[in-house]
Structure formats: structure tokens, C-alpha cells
Amino acid sequence: MKIEQIYTGCLAQGAYYIESEGEAVVIDPLREVTPYLERAEKDGARIKYVFETHFHADFVSGHVDLSKKTGAPIVYGPNANPTFEAYIAKDGEEFKVGKLTFRVLHTPGHTMESTCYLLIDENGKERALFSGDTLFIGDVGRPDLAQKAANMTQEQLAGTLYDSLRTKIMTLPDDVIVYPAHGAGSACGKNMSKETFDTLGHQKQTNYALRANMTKEEFIKEVTTGLTPPPAYFPLNVALNKHGYDSIDEVMQRGTRALSPAAFEAVANETGALILDTRDPQTFAKGFVPNSINIGLDGQFAPWVGALIPDVKQQILIIAEPGREEEAVMRLARVGYDYCLGYLEGGFEAWKAAGREVDSIESITAQELAERLKADPSAPIFDVRRKSEYDSEHIENAENTPLDYINQHMAEIPKNRPAYVHCAGGYRSMIFASILRARGYDNLVDVKGGFKAIKESGLFKTTDYVCPSTLL
């Protein structure tokens, strides 16, 4: 028996390849299916089933392509109603894979079709639970994503999740290994651990949602408190997972078309495509194609694309470091952005060498910021971290304008005077500055290294958020 967790850090997502006696199953595959095909070929195995735990919201699954390439049926649990061919399993139904048995455990709550797969070995021992978004390490799936589809409130879904956990999962042996679909960094929960698997027994001791004496009312309150709005692309990904999508081979062929600077400019002008520059933020700041947006590959690239580009059908042109163009196109496809029209051949250096117009964004050190604020103490500072980060500690007089809600804060940003912007380390602030630059805000100045560098400099007063209740 082989159990392999294939974890993708930028999406905080875990897919699984399980093999026994020349037969294999893949659970919640990513969009690019070649790695699973190669693993099966290496083992001399046949992929027998593609198991889906639910209709994913945060990424596009590779289930359709993998099924087409292998002939393996796509399996969902009860309540799933995809428009493509799939097998809808019954609660408690079992599937044989080599000497292993997979038992379907219908666990509605995160979504109404949410299903876990319990692995039972050849001796009848319950060994592992592939829990999807029902149970995470340190958390459970948020109950607010499927309200419209289920025609239920988030409180009703949370109550359903409570019942699923206690009747289907907490009754399993403590030594069962829990393999979830996500870890820390995913927006599918709010308190996930950095660990990507654990024993069920340890989770019963440490996961707030599995407390033995917890009432349903307490569970509902705790699970629904503190939920932030989900990224705008989540329902769009659900639709793709439910109704199907273009072949990844077609997407990659279209998106990896090399365009000379002249052709790149012509396509941009003809189509109105968004120019997405995926280079390092500080490299971008020194020079970029006018009106391009910077979201660096060496960060949470796909989630930020999904949060800030509202339409997955948006046409996109890529600028990347030479050799990373295919990576950029694939990572966009993972979250449903299938309409890349090509990339700038030779990257930004080719554009500059062709004598075309370039732009830049000023980026200064924390020390330089301190000097400028001495000369102009009233200069605005915008902290684009999330509210929870800002509340923990921030520069005095800095305004919190989270990147997630950039459109709601545009009116606060002055156009006619210098303003300074920072995040935690410099990744999000450059995204923020580039978006506003493309919209005509020419006086934003980025702070290199973000709040980390600001704090380490010792040159600034910082303050913590004071909860109003402590003032009573």
C-alpha cells in the first residue's frame, strides 16, 4: 500500500494518490494531471477511480481531465449533481482498490455533497480518513460557502456539520490518520494548522470544533464567528468544478504562446487584456510595462489573482522571468483563469531593449521613510495588511486599507501628494501600488520590507488595537 500526499503550498491544498496491487485512486486532484499519470506509470498501476470530496471553491480540480485520460470514473458522494458523467455514491458504499477498501462517509455541512473517504486495509482495520473540507487539522470547513446552493443559512449548515462530525467522524478509532484537503493559508477555514495530517485522537484533544462536551449551539457560534467574506472567485470555481472546463492541454497551448514586444503590444491594444507581471515586487518596481499589474509568482499568487481579478474569463497577458512563463499559466489555470493569450517573449528586458515605453514605482527603505516623515509629518501612510494584522500592531497614524478591499478604499488615496504604502513584507504593497498606478495614482511610494523592516528599524512608534470593552 502506498499513500502519497501531494501538497501544493501556494494553494495550501492536498491531493492524494493511493496505490495497492497495481490499482490506484486519486483524491481531489489538481488541474495538471500529468504528475498523477506519471506516478501510476512508475508503479505500473492503473488509476481506477477519481474521488472528489465536494465541489471545490478555491481551485479547479483535475477530475474531468484525469477521467478522460484514464477512463477512471469520477466519484462523488450523495447530493452531488454535476452536469458531466460521474458516479454518485451512496452513504456507506464501498470501493475496492487492490487490497484496500474505501468507504463513503457522507458528511454534509461545509457543502451538502461533502463526503469523506475512509480507507480500510486488507485486515479490515480503519487506517486513514480523507476528509476533504469537512475536517481540517485544527479547524473544520467554513459553513458559509454553500448557502445559496443549499438554500440554507450558514447557521443551518453549521448545525448540519456538527451532526456529521459527531455521527460519522468522531466515532472512528483515535489512531485513524486524518488527511485533509487544505492546510494553513487556505480561505476554506479560519484556524487551520500548518501540519497537513494528524491522528483523529490528537484532533479530538486539540481541535476546538471536536470538543467532546460541545453543544450544537456552542459549535454553531464558534464556527460562524470571525468569518471573513470569501474571495470573489470561489463561486466561479464551484461552477467550473460542477459543469466542466476546457482541457488543460488547450489552456496551456493557448497561454504559452510567445509574443514579441510588438505582437504583445498589439494583442494588448486589440483585446484590452490585463497585463499581469509575475516578477519579484522589487524587480517590478524598477521597471515595468505601463499599466501592468504586479502579482509575484513567489507568493500566494493564485489566491491573490482570484481575490483581485473578479472575472475568471478575463483575458490575460503574462510577463514573467524567462523560463517561468509556463508556471504562471498553469498556476492561473489552477484557479480557473483559462484565458491567457500568451506571454512576452524575452520578458521585460526584451520590451526595454525594443525601446518601448516603461514605467516604475518608487520604493524606499524604512530609514528613508522616517526621514521623509520628519520633513512632512502629515504625509499619509497606508497599511494594506489584513485588519487582524493591523489590529495586532501598526504604525501610529497609519490607515488600514486592506488589499482585499482596494476598490472600497480608492477614494481615501490622494492623487496630488506623496503617500506611503506598506504591508507585512513588501509583496502585497506592490500589488496595491501597481493597481493604483494603472488607475492614474502616480504618487504612491512603496516601503521595502514592509512592517517587518519598519519595526526592526526602531524609528517608528507603533500602537496596538484597544478593544472598546477594555475601556469600560
Give the CATH number of domain 363-471; options: 3.30.420.40, 3.40.250.10, 3.30.830.10, 3.90.1150.10: 3.40.250.10
Pairing of strands 316-319, 274-277: parallel
3-class state of residue 197 by DSSP:
coil
Would you identify the CATH topology of the domain 246-353? Oxidized Rhodanese; domain 1 (3.40.250)
Mind listing the pLDDT tens digit for each residue in 141-162? 999 999 988 899 999 999 999 9
pLDDT at 472 over 50: no
Mind listing the pLDDT tens digit for each residue in 225-275? 988 888 889 999 999 999 999 999 999 999 999 999 999 999 999 999 999
CA distances from 284 to 1, 265, 347, 382, 451 (A): 47, 18, 11, 20, 20
pLDDT at 102 over 80: yes
Mind listing the pLDDT tens digit for each residue in 264-307? 999 999 999 999 999 999 999 999 999 999 999 999 898 899 99
pLDDT at 97 over 90: yes
Crossing angle of helices 154-164/216-224, nearest 10°?
120
The pTM (predicted TM-score) of the whole model is 0.90
Mind listing the pLDDT tens digit for each residue in 333-353? 999 999 999 999 999 999 999
Q: Which residues are 262's β-sheet partners?
A: none
pLDDT at 2 over 50: yes
* Exposed / middle / buried, residue 365 (Cβ in 10 Å: 0-12, 13-18, 19+): middle
pLDDT at 470 over 90: no
CA 436 – CA 380 distance, rounded (Å): 15
Q: What is the pLDDT of residue 465?
A: 59
For the chain, the structural domain boundaries read 2-235, 246-353, 363-471
Give the CATH number of domain 2-235; options: 3.60.110.10, 3.30.70.141, 3.20.20.80, 3.60.15.10: 3.60.15.10
Q: Do domains 246-353 and 363-471 have the same CATH topology?
A: yes
**Mean pLDDT, the chain, whole residue set:** 95
